[in-house]
Amino acid sequence: MLLAEQLLNGLQYGMMLFLMAAGLTLVFGVMGLINLAHGALYMVGAFACAVVAASTGSFWLGLVASLAVAAAAGALVEMLVIRRLYNRDHLDQVLATFALILVFSEGTRWLFGDFPLYLKLPPALSGAITLPGGLQYPFFRLVIILVGAVVALGLWLLISRTRLGIRIRAGEADREMIGALGVDIAKLYTIVFALGAALAGLAGGLVGSIQSVQVGMGEPVLILAFVVIVIGGIGSIKGALVGALLVGMTDTLGKAVIPGLFARVMDTASANTTGSAVASMLIYILMAVVLLVRPQGLFGARV
């Protein structure tokens, strides 16, 4: 029963990571842009959700707001800052988007104060339900698995079945050529960036409701999202999904199993500290192994 619950935990953690990483891989893959401000947009989504939910009393309106506000913030940032960076090298992009993190963090603190905000799940999503087999599991975590699957499917359909998707793929392959063919490349990039931001915002609103909505909440997310897309292959939605599930499973099962394994060869106290330290390194070891064996990532097209 514990193993079943931990497997389910690994799956839902993976889906959570996919939600966080999907927008980043889209922007990175299509636009070739390293966007460190992705975590800041995640934070913007969570704050928008918390503020709107608190003032209207509706979590669902909050979720809509997290999508809308993050998309708007993304579009604005693209037009004001990011647009000037496409022809610069990656170091300039890193610098500028790192500056954006600081601007967003302190701006948010200035607007909403020093203290974490309150954001609670609506009654319809809260509580635990009993699964077949008698396992009690939080309903909201099942919802996250579902939303992750829907977003994955939606993105796949968008990229492979729609005109916008064709343009996105074309832009990924050769941005000058599709510009010459009469596609408004500037507008396309704004749309893609806003879409990526909206995905980050949605993840912020959803995941923020079972975490702490506070300044700086985006930075750990950013690191994990980068690990996921490096493992999955940069720019690949499928890669992000597989990478996220791999990282989720590795992290959850590692933390559940490794301290116990260490306890067989050393005393309990040091097994607990060492074991948990090793467990927290596992995903980075996984990333290193993937990079050694397949430097372009599991589903990466380019090196």
Partner 1 sequence: MTLKSLLLSATTTLALITAPAMAEPVKVGLITTLSGGGAGIGADVRDGFMLALKAAGDAGKEIEVILEDDQQKPDIAVQVADKMIQSDNVDVLTGIIWSNLAMAVVPAATAQDKFYLSTNAAPSALAGEGCNPKYFSVSYQNDNMHEAAGAYAAAEGVKKMFIMAPNYPAGQDSLAGFKRFYDGEVVAEVYTQVGQTDFAGEIAQIRASGADRVFFFQPGGMGIAFLKQYAESGVDIPLIGPGFSLSEDILPAVGDAALGTINTSHWSTDLDNPANKAFVDAFRADFGRYPSLYAAQAYDTANLLLSASAKASPSGDPDGFRAALQAADFASVRGKFAFGPNQHPIQDFYVLEVENRDGGLTNKIVGNAMTDRGDAYAELCKM
- H runs (alpha helix) in 162-184: 163-173, 175-180
Find the shortest distance in angstroms from Cβ 255 to partner 1.
Answer: 5
Sign, CA torsion 142/148/154/156: negative
Find the shortest distance in angstroms from Cβ 86 to partner 1.
Answer: 30
Asked if 85 contacts 93 with a C-beta cutoff of 8 angstroms, the reply is yes
128 binds partner 1 (CB under 8 A): yes
211 binds partner 1 (CB under 8 A): yes
In terms of CB distance, is 38 or 175 closer to partner 1?
38
Q: Hey, what are 200's tokens?
A: 């980050």
Find the shortest distance in angstroms from Cβ 136 to partner 1.
Answer: 4
Instruction: Provide the 3-class DSSP secondary structure of residue 104.
Output: helix
136 binds partner 1 (CB under 8 A): yes
Stretch that binds partner 1, among 6-14, 27-35, 80-88, 178-186 (CB under 8 A): 6-14
Instruction: Provide the 3-class DSSP secondary structure of residue 117.
Output: strand
Whole-number Å distance between alpha carbons of 107 and 201: 17
Whole-number Å distance between alpha carbons of 10 and 137: 13
List the beta bridge partners of residue 295. none
In terms of CB distance, is 152 or 283 closer to partner 1?
283
Using alpha carbons, select from 225, 204, 231 the residue that is nearest to residue 147: 204
296 binds partner 1 (CB under 8 A): no
91 binds partner 1 (CB under 8 A): no
Find the shortest distance in angstroms from Cβ 76 to partner 1.
Answer: 23
Considering only residues 168 through 207, tell me which ones interact with partner 1, judged by CB under 8 A: 207
285 binds partner 1 (CB under 8 A): no
In terms of CB distance, is 15 or 82 closer to partner 1?
15
* Of the candidate residues 42, 59, 140, 299, the single one contacting partner 1 (CB under 8 A): 140
220 binds partner 1 (CB under 8 A): yes
* Of the candidate residues 73, 203, 213, 290, the single one contacting partner 1 (CB under 8 A): 213
Q: For 113-144, b where at least 16 C-beta lie within 10 A, e where not — what string?
A: eeeebebebeeebeeeeeeeeeeebbebbbbb
Find the shortest distance in angstroms from Cβ 77 to partner 1.
Answer: 21
Triad 286, 209, 242: Cα angle to 5°: 25
The amino acid at 112? F
* Of the candidate residues 87, 89, 111, 115, the single one contacting partner 1 (CB under 8 A): 115
Q: Hey, what are 7's tokens?
A: 């497997």
Find the shortest distance in angstroms from Cβ 195 to partner 1.
Answer: 25
Backbone angles phi, psi at 120, to 5 degrees: -125, 150
Binding site for partner 1 (CB under 8 A): 1-2, 5-6, 9, 12-13, 16, 105-106, 109, 114-121, 126-128, 136-141, 207, 209-217, 220, 252, 255-256, 259, 268-269, 272-273, 276-277, 280
